[in-house]
Amino acid sequence: MKAVHFGAGNIGRGFIGLLLHQSGYEVAFVDVNDTLVSLLQTKRQYTVKLANEQADTFLVDQVTALDGKNMAWVAETIAAVDLVTTAVGVSVLKHIAATIAKGIELRLAGSREPLHIIACENALGGSTTLKHLVYEHLSPGNRALADRLVAFPDAAVDRIVPLQQNEDPLLVTVEPFYEWTIDRSAVLPGHQEIAGVHYVDQLEPYIERKLFTVNTGHCCAAYHGYLKGYMTIQEAMKDLSIVAEVRGALQESGAALIQTYQFDEAAHSQYIEQILERFINPYLVDEIVRIGRSPIRKLSPQDRLVRPALLANQYGITVTHLTNAMAAALHFDYADDPEAVELQEMIKKHGIHRTLTEYTGLSGQSPLHSRAAEQYQQLEQWGPARKGMIER
Ligand SMILES: NC(=O)C1=CN([C@@H]2O[C@H](COP(=O)(O)OP(=O)(O)OC[C@H]3O[C@@H](n4cnc5c(N)ncnc54)[C@H](O)[C@@H]3O)[C@@H](O)[C@H]2O)C=CC1
Ligand SMILES: O=P(O)(O)OC[C@H]1O[C@](O)(CO)[C@@H](O)[C@@H]1O
């Protein structure tokens, strides 16, 4: 079996590539990073190391890489594989859509074998988004054929893979835990199930539970940690006031999830505690600026802070920690993150109220808006503390 995977980065190599390899796939990675592509082409293998006491390792071999800038080459390869996966970042999907469409076109000209395309990004409906982007490049005839022969099952991917600091540039250190959940209802007959993947009939509860627990809690720790001058999540999670903020936010998002999906309360509490344990894994060094990256995306209406806060608010659940995390996100002034820079410019130019409305979609009438704005002013006190800690 053959697969093309877009994005030979942390999740690409450390999670998706590993599981596909273990299921018997030969994986061709597509990336625009010339160094990564050339190393994978030369070595044809890499190692995944688990962040645990034993530092278990896994060899992933029979891999290769394609230059993502070479559309014709990538499209020809897609035409002949069983599976296409992506882990490039949700905002990059639009840049790979034309190449995937070209691959589908070539494939449909000569084959009636089904093709599955799965976006493994931190987003609701990632594969569906990719499908819409790809369809923009297909002729009406090919769209009709693709409706029958090409499936885009949505998926949720959960494994913490930090920025890598290894001497071997292909080695990737990952947390031991993983969960890859795929919407079975969108899978076509003939799909060979990927070992280790959890296929479910209804994905929504799984992806919302993951995004609004793992990702909500993680960014909450990151934004509060950044404000207090910590560099890693592991450092931030030693600060009890930050742990209280994170736990509080997860209780709010958890209460909303329990109401929406009738999750068992005790089981959900256990899920939260398991995730807090994962955040403090002492064998990982996870930089706060990675978890906090792209604050505009993270503050958007469908993402990990605003959506659970809106849901909770609808159910009459008091929301203070999620709004406090939004307020902390609005203080994330990391100069190397283009979205953080844009956000800070907007606040400077137009003030906190207009910024909140513009990026979170919360109107000035929303109680969540007023609370976040008020908390933003209260958190101002941490600015000097942060600078002091960073200078020390
Ligand atoms: N790192 C993690 O713990 C997790 C990440 N994710 C999601 O996985 C996705 C990837 O995240 P990471 O692996 O952490 O990022 P990363 O930055 O390590 O990897 C992304 C890779 O995509 C490549 N890329 C960028 N533009 C491309 C293009 N046009 N064509 C082909 N390749 C391109 C980059 O060169 C890079 O190698 C994101 O959506 C993220 O939210 C999901 C779960 C866990
Ligand atoms: O990749 P994003 O969406 O920027 O967010 C980072 C998040 O993704 C993860 O890497 C995995 O879900 C978390 O560790 C972190 O919360």
- DSSP letters for 68-127: TT-HHHHHHHHTT-SEEEE-S-GGGHHHHHHHHHHHHHHHHHH----EEEEE-SSSTTHH
10 is in an annotated binding site: yes
Residues 179 and 255 in one domain: no
CATH of the domain at 32: 3.40.50.720
Nearest CA to 209 out of 292, 304, 334 is that of: 304
86 close to ligand 1 (CB < 6 Angstrom): no
Residues 24 and 73 in one domain: yes
One domain, residues 196 and 244: no
Question: Ligand 1: distance of its center to the CA of 119 in Å?
Answer: 11
Asked if residue 211 lies in contact with residue 178, where contact means CB atoms within 8 angstroms, the answer is no
State the ligand closest to the CA atom of 233.
Answer: 2
Helices (H), 114-215: 126-135, 140-149, 204-210
Query: Distance, CA 4 to ligand 1 centroid (Å)?
Result: 15
**9 Cβ below 6 A of ligand 1:** yes
Query: Per residue in 159-216, pLDDT tens?
Result: 999 999 999 999 999 999 999 999 999 999 989 899 999 999 999 999 999 999 999 9
The number of folded domains in the chain is: 2
Closest CA to ligand 2's atom 4? 293
Please tell me the distance between residue 385's alpha carbon and the centre of ligand 1 in angstroms.
33
Q: 5 a known binding residue?
A: yes
Sheet with 197-200, edge to edge strand ranges: 155-158, 179-183, 197-200
Same domain, 225 and 312: yes
The sheet with strand 172-174 has its strands ordered as: 57-61, 45-50, 172-174
Do residue 218 and residue 172 come from a single domain? no
Q: Is 13 annotated as a binding residue?
A: yes
Of 286, 221, 209, the closest CA to residue 249 belongs to 221
* pTM of the predicted structure, to 2 decimals: 0.93
Q: Domain containing 383 — which CATH number?
A: 1.10.1040.10
Domain-terminating residue out of 186, 202, 218: 202
Q: Measured from the CA of 30, which atom of ligand 1 is nearest?
A: 31
Relative to the alpha carbon of 7, which ligand is closest?
1
Decide which of 155, 180, 202 is a domain's last residue. Answer: 202
Q: Copy the structure tokens of residue 380.
A: 């101002």
Residue 54: predicted pLDDT: 97
ipTM: 0.97
Closest C-alpha among 64, 130, 63, 123 to residue 103: 130
Judge if 83 and 135 occupy the same domain. Answer: yes
**Whether residue 194 sits in one domain with residue 269:** no
Is 12 among the annotated ligand-binding positions? yes
State the greatest distance between any 2 C-alpha atoms of the chain, in Å, as a whole number.
Answer: 64
Partners of residue 267 on adjacent β-strands:
none
322 and 335 together in one domain: yes
Ligand 2 center from residue 18 Cα (angstroms): 18
Q: Is the CB of 157 under 6 A from ligand 1?
A: yes
Domain match, 217 and 192 both: no
39 and 188 both lie in a single domain:
yes
254 is in an annotated binding site: no
The reply to whether 181 and 213 lie within a common domain is no
Closest CA to 379 of 331, 346, 332, 344: 331
Tell me how far the alpha carbon of residue 208 is from its chain's centroid: 12
Which of 202, 230, 261 terminates a domain? The answer is 202
Amino acid 363: pLDDT: 97
Domain region containing 327? 207-391
pLDDT in the model for residue 392: 46
Residue 14 in marked binding region = yes
Q: What is the pLDDT at residue 381?
A: 79
Ligand nearest, relative to CA of residue 8: 1
Is the same domain home to 213 and 278?
yes
Expressed in angstroms and rounded, the spacing between residue 84 Cα and the centre of ligand 1 is: 15
Q: In what order do the strands lie in the sheet with 63-67?
A: 63-67, 26-31, 2-6, 83-86, 115-119, 150-151
Residue 190, pLDDT score: 87
Torsions phi, psi for 373 (to 5 deg): -65, -40
Measured in Å, residue 290 CA sits from the centre of ligand 2 at 8
Report, as ranges of residue numbers, the positions in the chain whose pLDDT lies below 50. Answer: 392
92 lines ligand 1 (CB under 6 A): yes
